[in-house]
Structure 1
Amino acid sequence: MTKQLDESSFKTVVASTPLVSIDLIVQNSDGQILLGLRNNRPAKNSWFVPGGRIRKDEQLEEAFGRLVSEELGRALSFKDAIFKGVYQHFYQDNFSTEDFSTHYIVLAYTLVLDIEITDLPVEQHCQYRWWNVDKLLCAETVHHNTKAYFC
């Protein structure tokens, strides 16, 4: 069983250690990339790929399945993903209003998927858009950590 920390313990972890996460680089059959406008810190109000943290005692394949379900509202197999690489994300802020940074080690996976953006969950992103890579690389509102997947 995976563990989810209480807020106080989680603040201590985020302030003290890197977090491990999975980012989902969703590409449609036209080569466009799915980005969501982030609701939460860090990277609030930036266009970002879907993804999330891996929980303690959660197998990588389980985390992938949970995140695809939570972020894309569907079930996909880990074998449907293409591993893109390991990335580092550094943020000056964190999920709370306290003053400490956030550091992620990110396992990025590409999925080729045609999905209807009106059916996507809105807990982490208030809206979604399909982006051409050349446009997202030029857009000031697309977070630099997302742009790094395409440079």
Structure 2
Amino acid sequence: MKYLAVGVILAALSFQAIDALKCMQGIEAKKNNGGNEAQKNDKPLEITECGAATAVASTALLALVKPSSFNIPSGGYKCYHLKYQEKNSESSTIIKGCIYSSLNVCDGKFSSSNINEVFCSQCDEDGCNSGGRFGFDVKLLGLTLAALIAYLLQ
């Protein structure tokens, strides 16, 4: 019985480890009015599971803002967070999403005739492109529970 319980826990942890990457996805438009920052969400930010559809949608959105970041798609995924500001305005836009791992969104600050890049990051952990990490690390919790059950079954 002990071995069965430990085997089930290890199988569950293995299944969690192969889950797809989850990223925040959406657009936030912010306007600075004399120190007060108003926010308008064009598409509400939500955690989505990375896949071909979300990567293609995010890549298309990025191509409109930063055409130099386009590359041939690969099999893996990563999250990104890009903030840019319009030159003749006090408004800024934040784009978050999931892209193919072969794309390099943060290949250096860009500037065009009407926008400047303010911030860029890319990462490969669940929810890492959010303002704050949501939830807790399920794998760490699972390993802790496995160790606790193994200790109790001795």
Q: TM-score, normalised by structure 1?
A: 0.26
Higher relative contact order (Cα pairs below 8 Å, separated by 6+ residues): 1
Larger Rg: 2
